[in-house]
Amino acid sequence: MTMDAQRTDSPSLEARRAGGPATAFFDVDGTLTVWHISTDADEGQEEPEEQWPVPRPAVCDAFSRMRRNGHATFICTGRPIAFVHQPILDLNPTGIVAGAGAYVRVGDTVVRNEHIDDDLAVETARRLLEAGIDVDMETDVTCLSLFPSGAVSEFENAHTLRTMEEFEPLARKFGIVKFCMRNPEASRLERVLPFCLEHYTMCDLQGGVLEFSLRGVDKAAGIACALEALGRGRANTYAFGDSENDLSMVDAVETFVAMGNALPNVKERAAYVTDSVDDDGVATGLAHFGLI
């Protein structure tokens, strides 16, 4: 354990073990994985290219040990299900909460799948386009990147779009789960923020990314849905996170763990602050609570 890890009051190890199998929920980006830049000259790349990050070996081992100890594990991510990539699925979790709570799967059964009303999604996109804001509108199968700036989406298999005529048919076909902006200009954001906050919850995902989810749709709602499907309550539940969209998990579980790299307001709400994602904080936290 590095010096970043902090211990606070929490149920005793004996009490946790007496509670039976635990259920743990894990954010992905900044918690299970960390973004890195590939600069491999052998790939013939002129510039460094971002690659989807993969869990470190200690995380993979921790998930295996959780399963052997009889505990349930859930991916609990803001990513839509289309972008929960194979290295994450290879952790063999009990289930997945995706789209910041909009989508919940337990085993192979989808028990929740919420979308923004089509008309609201189209009106939101129209306002963002008129304000000149690039936005990634996320769906269960792809990303609709409405980019008036002329930029091109960085996401694989995404649709880069410039006009509402291009966007609206695809939005109604696929259904929008949530949307994100990257470093929007303050003056442009001010034009649309009142409308957005009327209908959506805004979260800081770090790195200049703002996430907007439909009001009432968050990770806490996804956790509640997953626990109901399992027939379990809040006792002996844990969640690990680092960003503002993880804050809803604080009251949804018995013990919330913040990563060492978490935002300050996330750490303030945590029962325990573990090591950073670079120092295998998930494994440190699970070991601290006697789960592995």
User: Which residue in 289, 267, 241, 281 sits closest to 3, CA to CA?
Assistant: 281
Q: Which domains does the chain have, with CATH numbers?
A: 13-114+217-288 (3.40.50.1000), 118-214 (3.30.1240.10)
Which of 25-39, 142-156, 161-175, 186-200 has the weakest average pLDDT? 25-39
Distance CA 242, CA 259 (A): 5
Tell me the percentage of the chain whose pLDDT exceeds 70.
88
Distance CA 90, CA 235 (A): 27
For the segment 227-231, the average pLDDT, to the nearest whole number, is: 97
For the segment 131-138, the average pLDDT, to the nearest whole number, is: 98
**Alpha helices for 72-162 (secondary structure H):** 86-89, 118-130
Tell me the percentage of the chain whose pLDDT exceeds 90.
84
Q: Is the pLDDT of residue 241 over 70?
A: yes
How do the residues of the chain divide into helix, strand and coil, expressed in percent and rounded to 5?
A: 35, 25, 40
- pLDDT at position 13 is 53
DSSP annotation string for 27-61: -SBTTTB--EEE--GGGT-SS-EEE-----HHHHH
Encoded tokens for 265: 């307001």
pTM above 0.85, yes or no: yes
Encoded tokens for 204: 């800081």
pLDDT in tens, 35-84: 755 444 444 444 444 568 999 999 999 999 999 999 999 999 999 999 99
pLDDT in tens, 136-158: 999 999 999 999 999 999 888 89
- pLDDT at position 78 is 96
Q: Is the pLDDT of residue 14 over 50?
A: yes
